[in-house]
């Protein structure tokens, strides 16, 4: 996705301790909160008039937000100079993938009774569905190439190039949202603007030049 972490933060440094014992647990709690909220809603039958819509929309929106958060890790690291932040990137990305998967499953089961032919027809006929599905396929690829052994096998450079696909994935996700709303496009446009801002930041916030190492993260 971005240039790999140039050097591993020294174990026991204050920064990496904070990331490991404060930020990472906070990330896990924050990322699991929407799922917990939905689970509670399912258990107490409290998901509004159209529960399936609530489930679909919440999981989709959470996936999009996490995708955007994943993309802010590198600019945040460069701005702050705290290299240890890179440790947040993979869990954020994988949680985005998790919510996207649940989102897709809810759609497949409740909207199409898991009928492959019907789902295929829906994907082909409706660009809105197609772009969502394309975004999912990208996230799937990125998730499958996330475990450290796979990263090592691919090599840092290839991995980096491949994981730049997260930008098109986020763009497709925003478009998916945009095409879904009937008329009031303020919300998807807001997320689109945030994505553009993150993308633009890559050109303004340059990485500081440091010796490269082979393996990322």
Partner 1 sequence: MIIRRPPDLPTAEITDEALYHDRRRWLAATAAAVAGLAVPRSAAALGQGQDDKPTPYDVVTTYNNYYEFGTDKSDPAQNAGGLKVKPWTVSVEGDVKKPGRYDLDDLLKGLPTVERVYRMRCVEAWSMVIPWNGVLLRDLLKKLEPGTNAKFVEFTTLADARQMPGLRYDVLAWPYVEGLRIDEAAHPLTMLATGIYGKPILNQNGAPIRLVVPWKYGFKGGKSIVKIRFMETMPKTAWNLAAPNEYGFYANVNPNVSHPRWSQKTERRLGEFFRRPTLMFNGYADQVGSLYSNLDLRTNY
Q: Which is nearer to partner 1, 128 or 167 (CB)?
A: 128
Q: Which two tokens stand for residue 114?
A: 């898991």
134, containing H or E segment: helix 127-144
Cβ atoms of 61 and 96 closer than 8 Å: no
Cβ atoms of 217 and 165 closer than 8 Å: no
Contact with partner 1 (CB under 8 A) among 10, 12, 14, 45: 45
* Binding of partner 1 by 109 (CB under 8 A): yes
Contact with partner 1 (CB under 8 A) among 127, 147, 148, 155: 127
* Binding of partner 1 by 50 (CB under 8 A): yes
Stretch that binds partner 1, among 25-33, 79-87, 120-128, 152-160 (CB under 8 A): 120-128
Contact with partner 1 (CB under 8 A) among 37, 115, 144, 155: 115
Cβ count within 10 A of residue 94: 17
Q: Which is nearer to partner 1, 19 or 106 (CB)?
A: 106
* Binding of partner 1 by 46 (CB under 8 A): no
Q: Residue 113 CB, nearest distance to partner 1 (Å)?
A: 5
* Binding of partner 1 by 116 (CB under 8 A): no
Cβ atoms of 133 and 140 closer than 8 Å: no
Residues near 151 by beta carbon (within 8 Å), at least 6 away in sequence: 145, 159, 215, 216, 217
86, containing H or E segment: none
Residues near 116 by beta carbon (within 8 Å), at least 6 away in sequence: none
* Binding of partner 1 by 40 (CB under 8 A): no
**Rounded to an integer, what distance in angstroms lies between the CA atom of residue 183 and that of residue 165?**
29
* Binding of partner 1 by 114 (CB under 8 A): yes
Q: Residue 29 CB, nearest distance to partner 1 (Å)?
A: 25
* Binding of partner 1 by 183 (CB under 8 A): yes
Q: Which two tokens stand for residue 55?
A: 């489930």
Contacts with partner 1 by CB under 8 A lie at 42, 45, 48-53, 109-111, 113-115, 122, 125-128, 179-180, 182-184, 186
């Amino acid at each position: 996705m971005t240039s790999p972490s140039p050097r591993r933060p020294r174990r026991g440094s204050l920064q990496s301790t904070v990331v490991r014992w404060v930020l990472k647990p906070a990330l896990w709690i924050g990322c699991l909160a929407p799922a917990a909220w939905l689970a509670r809603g399912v258990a107490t039958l409290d998901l509004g008039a159209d529960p399936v819509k609530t489930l679909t929309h919440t999981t989709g929106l959470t996936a999009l937000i996490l995708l955007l958060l994943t993309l802010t890790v590198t600019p945040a690291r460069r701005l702050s100079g705290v290299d240890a932040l890179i440790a947040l990137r993979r869990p954020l990305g994988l949680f985005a993938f998790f919510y996207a998967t649940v989102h897709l499953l809810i759609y497949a089961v409740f909207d199409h009774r898991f009928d492959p032919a019907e789902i295929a027809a829906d994907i082909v006929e409706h660009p809105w569905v197609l772009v969502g599905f394309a975004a999912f396929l990208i996230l799937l690829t990125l998730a499958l190439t996330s475990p450290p052994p796979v990263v090592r096998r691919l090599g840092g450079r290839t991995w980096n190039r491949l994981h730049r696909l997260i930008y098109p994935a986020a763009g497709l996700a925003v478009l998916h949202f945009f095409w879904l709303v009937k008329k009031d496009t303020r919300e998807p446009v807001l997320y689109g603007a945030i994505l553009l801002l993150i993308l633009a930041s890559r050109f303004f916030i340059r990485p500081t030049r440091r010796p490269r190492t082979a393996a990322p993260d």
